[in-house]
Amino acid sequence: MTVSLTDLEKIVREAGAIALSHYKNLELLKVTKKSPRDFVTEADIAVESYLKETLSKHYPQYGFWGEESGQSENQTNRWIVDPIDGTHSFSKGQYFWSISVALEVNQETLVGAVYAPALNDYYCAEKNKGVWKNGNPIAVSTEQVLANAMVATGFACVRAYLKDNNLQRFCRIAEQTTGQRRFGSAALDLCMVADGQVDAFWEQELNLYDIAAGALIAAEAGATITDFEGNKGVFPKQILATNGAILEQLLAFM
């Protein structure tokens, strides 16, 4: 059984509708903490429950790995889901949060979907077959000069109290670039690289469910995906996505 991108979009958009129903009533939202700086809301649980039930019903041959519910038995072929990437932003009523769904088969991501319900932007990609935003093809930027670039990053490492954090790296890169952004959703950051809204994104100490879908979307749009030393591949603990043209310039400051 193959995955229908049309059916997947319907499922993910329905998950977005569930999230929006909570987003529109934040005064009633129940928020708890998994750790001192890691939030989870009842919206996260509701969205993941819907996705787990619906994807498992439509595609029973695939296992499931969700941020909140953990891993099912079949992890060789699986859906990888972050129900709300950017939970803190969501709970504050901000716009930059997303639902991330990826299909991984034998350690290779074949399909990725990232939906930002508050922005009504839906990104999807199929490996070696293309990438789309709201049904239209997209591509990375053509910026050639790091000094002119706009870059995005995040600070999961700081939230985790790690000594090896992103602060000095951010300061070095900020001095070399024109614009810096911190949106709060790694999945959506990667889509913004794909869409040419930013020229590069990096972050460290993420999980695969944060970036699996977004990394495929960025790659299909022409992005280079590496670690901080330029090794190609998807490395959740170190991910650098660029338009390719500024990769070597950026690596000098990583």
Q: Which of these ranges, 15-24, 28-37, 94-103, has the smallest mean pLDDT? A: 28-37
| CA 32 from centre of chain | 22
- Look at residue 157 and tell me whether its pLDDT is greater than 70: no
Question: Which amino acid is it at 188?
Answer: L
Secondary structure (3-state) at 91 = helix
- In tens, the pLDDT along 172-224 reads 999 999 999 999 999 999 999 999 999 999 999 899 999 999 999 999 999 99
The whole-chain average pLDDT of the chain stands at 94
Longest dimension (CA), the chain: 50
| CA 5 from centre of chain | 18
Say how far apart CA 82 and CA 85 lie, in whole Å. Answer: 6
Task: Tell me which residue of 111, 133, 145 sits closest to 5, measured CA to CA.
Answer: 111
Give 131's pLDDT tier (boundaries 50, 70, 90).
very high
- In tens, the pLDDT along 46-60 reads 999 999 999 999 999
Helix H or strand E segment including 198: none
% of the chain exceeding 70 in pLDDT = 95
Classified by CATH at the fold level, domain 5-137 comes out as Fructose-1,6-Bisphosphatase; Chain A, domain 1 (3.30.540)
Give 158's pLDDT tier (boundaries 50, 70, 90).
low
Task: Tell me which residue of 52, 57, 51 sits closest to 1, measured CA to CA.
Answer: 57
Q: What architecture is domain 146-251?
A: 3-Layer(aba) Sandwich (3.40)
Give 248's pLDDT tier (boundaries 50, 70, 90).
very high
For the chain, domain boundaries:
5-137, 146-251
